Chain A
Amino acid sequence: MNTDIKHIAALVATSIWADGEYDAAEKIVVEEIADAFELNAEDLSAAVEQELEVIKPMSEDEVNAYILEHSAEVEDEEAEMLLQAVLQVVIVDGVLGEEEVENVLSIASALGVDDARAVLMLADLVKEEPELQIEL
């Protein structure tokens, strides 16, 4: 990955913030992201935890500005990879509902990934996860 780890951590942290949990499951996903992006797992975990502390006192508007700021620094050719990482965090609780989808599409937009492409990526994910509960 050419994108700085700080920006990767920021977007991963945002997804964790939106879902409201940072437990064993999320930590396993962060390690999986590190592995997929060939980053040091401890470095990424530490960076995510640092960004979670940055986000904690923010309002939703401030978090959205933060997402835009960090998304702008993601290398164009790595935007979809980052979005895949965000998806991995979003599904960690085993449930996919409208709010999660709206958040995914918002982050996709910030990353410059168009809706159609983001929806296809979601569909690809859902196909691979038969136990994922879809909350209509």
Chain B
Amino acid sequence: MAVKKTTVKKTKDGKVDKRTKEGKEIAARMAKARAEKNSLKNRIKRLFK
């Protein structure tokens, strides 16, 4: 089996400051909402179903 080379790159957005102040606030609110609904924990639980 061929070994795949890992090639993580900075996204083109990662090379510039892509978020406006408003965009950053929205991103933070959405991150908080995900955390409050245990988004990551729930997806991890489904791995072990």
Residue numbers of A with Cβ under 8 A of B are: 14, 17-21, 23-26, 28-29, 31-33, 35-36, 60, 63-64, 67-68, 80-81, 84-85, 87-88, 92-95, 97, 99-100, 102-103, 106-107, 109-110, 121, 124-125, 128-129, 131
Residues of chain B contacted by A80 (CB below 8 angstroms): 47
- Given A31-B35, A32-B31, A109-B4 in contact, is the A19-B44 Cβ separation under 8 Å? no
Q: Report whether A67 and B14 are in contact in the complex, using a CB–CB cutoff of 8 Å.
A: no
Q: Report whether B10 and A33 are in contact in the complex, using a CB–CB cutoff of 8 Å.
A: no
State the Cβ distance, A38 to closest chain B Cβ, in Å: 10
Residues of chain B contacted by A84 (CB below 8 angstroms): 40, 43-44, 47
Residue numbers of B with Cβ under 8 A of A are: 4-19, 23-24, 26-28, 30-32, 34-35, 39-44, 46-47
Residues of chain B contacted by A29 (CB below 8 angstroms): 31, 34-35
Closest 4 CB pairs of A and B: A20-B14, A25-B27, A24-B28, A28-B31
Residues of chain B contacted by A18 (CB below 8 angstroms): 8-11, 14
Q: Report whether A124 and B6 are in contact in the complex, using a CB–CB cutoff of 8 Å.
A: no
State the Cβ distance, B8 to closest chain A Cβ, in Å: 5
**7 additional contacts, CB 8 Å, given A17-B14, A20-B18, A85-B40?**
A18-B10, A18-B14, A20-B10, A24-B27, A99-B11, A106-B4, A131-B30
Residues of chain A contacted by B11 (CB below 8 angstroms): 18-20, 97, 99-100, 103
Residues of chain B contacted by A100 (CB below 8 angstroms): 11
Query: Which of the residues B9, B23, B41, B42 comes within 8 Å of A103, measured between beta carbons?
Result: B9
State the Cβ distance, B46 to closest chain A Cβ, in Å: 7
Residues of chain A contacted by B44 (CB below 8 angstroms): 36, 81, 84
Bound-complex Cα distance A33 to B42 (A): 12
